Amino acid sequence: MKETIFEQVASAASVLKLDLSAEEFALFAEDREFSEAGMEAVQMLLGYLSEKKQQTTIQTLLKMSRLPTKAPKTFENFDFSLLKGKDVERLKVLSSLNAIYSHRNLAFIGPAGTGKTHLAQAFGYACCQHGLKTYFIKASELRDRFTAARRSGKTDSCLNGLVRPSCLIIDEIGHCAFDKENTRLFFDLIDRRYNKEGSFNMIFTSNKNPALWREDFEEDATLCTLDRIFDDATVFKLRGESFRGKKLETVSLQTGRVPTVEPAVTKE
């Protein structure tokens, strides 16, 4: 059902954080004998300002997310035609963001070049487009951040910053090892997010089956960590050839010695 012009004004005012209801605007317009064109002008102005504010918010969220912005990975530019199987539709429906509203974690598992990071970043990009704070970090960067926080005595601040986003994406689990102290911090991070309120989830990518993730952590708490991650989660296992190099062009050239040109002999 289409909104009335008064409801549209009220919606735009809400985005702009203006205290103006549909009823109040209707009374205001009636008292001042606004024409239909006058009311439309007000609606267009507030609509423009609210859209401008929303786009500014989205750009800020994208910048803070650490997702690529020059060539963003989105669901729209992911080639789903390259995937085969009866569950491809379950991948396509991820763009609805149902997973974040139902607090369902996601894991993309598979060899390099099968689209794991693209799909994870596409979900994060969609979150930003809907005003949800997102943060992308590689597992190796997370490990280094934990180490630096321990040395500076700022582990609480570090964890708080990673708990705050609605969607936290940890890329390439299994590409680095976490020592005992960093494993404990990883558990604390997962535990705090597990008990977080509101719309939230976590996304992981890895070339290892989750059952093997324990190999990269040095603490008995790893089992508890995995229990919390996969308590309510969907794991997508991607198999097949790498998508990378599809536009690779190979040019073969052969080099050899340049033949020596003998000087011409002039007969006298």
Nearest to 193 by CA among 219, 228, 154: 228
What does the pLDDT read at residue 201?
96
Q: 137 pLDDT exceeds 50?
A: yes
What does the pLDDT read at residue 113?
84
What does the pLDDT read at residue 218?
85
pLDDT band of residue 222 (cuts 50, 70, 90) is: confident
Count other C-beta atoms under 10 Å from residue 219's C-beta.
Answer: 19
User: What tokens appear for 158 in the block?
Assistant: 């570090």
Asked if 115 and 238 count as a contact pair (C-beta separation under 8 A), the reply is yes
pLDDT band of residue 252 (cuts 50, 70, 90) is: very low
Cβ-in-10-Å burial (0-12, 13-18, 19+) of 120 comes to: buried
Q: What is the pLDDT of residues 145-190, one digit of tens each?
A: 999 999 999 999 999 999 999 999 999 999 999 999 999 999 999 9
The lowest-confidence range among 57-61, 157-161, 168-172, 221-225 is: 221-225
User: What tokens appear for 133 in the block?
Assistant: 């704070």
C-alpha 56/C-alpha 95 separation (Å) is 22
Residues 6+ apart with CB under 8 A from 136: 65, 66, 67, 120, 121, 124, 169, 171
Nearest to 10 by CA among 47, 40, 36, 35: 47
- Residue 105, beta-bridge partner list: 233
Q: 262 pLDDT exceeds 70?
A: no
Q: What is the pLDDT of residues 64-95, one digit of tens each?
A: 999 998 899 999 999 888 888 778 888 999 99
Write out the E strands in the chain.
Answer: 105-109, 134-138, 167-173, 201-206, 233-237
What does the pLDDT read at residue 52?
95
pTM of the model: 0.82
Average pLDDT in the chain: 89
Please report, as a single letter, which amino acid is at residue 156: D
Query: Rounded to the nearest 5 degrees, what angle is found at the Cα of 134, between the Cα atoms of 153 and 177?
Result: 50
Q: 45 pLDDT exceeds 70?
A: yes
Asked if 105 and 226 count as a contact pair (C-beta separation under 8 A), the reply is no
Q: 212 pLDDT exceeds 70?
A: yes
C-alpha 53/C-alpha 201 separation (Å) is 26
